[in-house]
Chains A and B, each alone.
Chain A
Amino acid sequence: DGGITQSPKYLFRKEGQNVTLSCEQNLNHDAMYWYRQDPGQGLRLIYYSQIVNDFQKGDIAEGYSVSREKKESFPLTVTSAQKNPTAFYLCASSQTDPGNTIYFGEGSWLTVV
């Protein structure tokens, strides 16, 4: 089935540790995104990439890093510099034509203790 796969679904980490969230898509989409959602809040853009080996910061990029070595993959690393990392993280993808719709994965819950 075509879609966006995020892993792990749930992740617990100790404060000060880096953690990497995986996102893979088989939709042949050029663009990929990472959003963060806090309880009762909307989605905020962390990073996005419109082509392999290129990515741009979103609205809340501080404390996060990404890579885009393959079209299908866009992993997100939550570093120890992120002050409030506990959140629901959503990966998404789309074609790059203006106005093309964005499709989301099922999300990853990160809890830092």
Chain B
Amino acid sequence: QKEVEQDPGPLSVPEGAIVSLNCTYSNSAFQYFMWYRQYSRKGPELLMYTYSSGNKEDGRFTAQVDKSSKYISLFIRDSQPSDSATYLCAMAKAAGNKLTFGGGTRVLVKP
């Protein structure tokens, strides 16, 4: 079993809909949680960064972490075609900065 599980998709939504993404993990030592967006043939870019449990909002993006359930989520409101990309969750333990990634979810936002 992988340490971090993420549905590969594709997840197809109409423009303006809410995109809901999630990852589950098995290692309770993870303390830092990140979401990256990756366009085709490009390097990942950091979207959201959260420490421990709780919610964080940045514009149209909301990240949630539930450590008791080992479950993290990313919500994208008012989705745009430009949001079409692969979204990767990543997490790290308290020290060392080694990231463990989920496999990524491909999202398609249709005009």
What is A's interface to B at a CB cutoff of 8 Å? Answer: 4, 6, 31, 40-45, 48, 50, 58, 88, 90, 94, 96, 98-107, 109
Contacts and interface: CB of A to CB of B under 8 A. Distances in A.
A101 B4 CA distance: 18
A40 B103 contact: yes
Nearest to A105: B43
B98 A48 contact: yes
Given A42-B103, A99-B32, A99-B51, A104 B98 contact: no
Given A40-B103, A99-B92, A109 B97 contact: no
Contacts, number: 64
Contacts of B102: 42
A58 B98 contact: yes
A43 B101 contact: yes
17 contacts: A4-B43, A40-B8, A40-B103, A42-B102, A42-B103, A43-B44, A43-B88, A43-B101, A48-B98, A50-B97, A98-B94, A99-B32, A102-B34, A102-B46, A104-B43, A104-B45, A106-B42
B47 to A, nearest CB: 11
Contacts of B36: 104
B97 A102 contact: yes
A27 to B, nearest CB: 13
A45 B4 CA distance: 14
User: Which of A4, A41, A88, A104: most chain B Cβ within 10 A?
Assistant: A104
Given A41-B103, A41-B104, A94-B97, 13 more contacts: A6-B43, A31-B97, A40-B8, A43-B44, A45-B99, A58-B98, A98-B92, A100-B97, A101-B34, A102-B34, A102-B90, A102-B99, A103-B46
